[in-house]
Amino acid sequence: MMRVERIVKEADNQHEIKSYNEILGKSGELGCTLLMKIDDPAERDEKLTKWLDLPMHLYLKLEDKTQIRATYKAITSSESGW
């Protein structure tokens, strides 16, 4: 993310690292992040409302076809500082 967003200041790098460390899984867990950037506020509000149940459709599919549903914590931009 730091490379894509061209974050070069040390304080900004530390903020990104801290933010992502907070959402990583614990030992034995798998953590991931889904980021969607929608600049237009009206379009963003419309899409986010439509996508409220998106997490219920996300799962990890194992080699033996087992599906493991995600547990998640929604993080808002105000919480993350983004």
Q: Which pLDDT score, from 0 to 100, does residue 41 have? A: 92
Q: What are the per-10-residue average pLDDT scores of the chain (82 residues)?
A: 82 88 77 80 91 85 91 60 50
pLDDT for 73: 65
**Torsion (CA) 4, 27, 58, 69 in degrees, nearest 10:** 180
Residues 61/67, Cβ–Cβ less than 8 Å: yes
CB pairs under 8 A, 24+ apart, for 65-74?
Answer: 73/23
Q: What is the pLDDT of residue 76?
A: 59
The whole-model pTM stands at: 0.46
CA–CA separation, 44 vs 63, rounded Å? 35
At 1, list the tokens. 């993310």
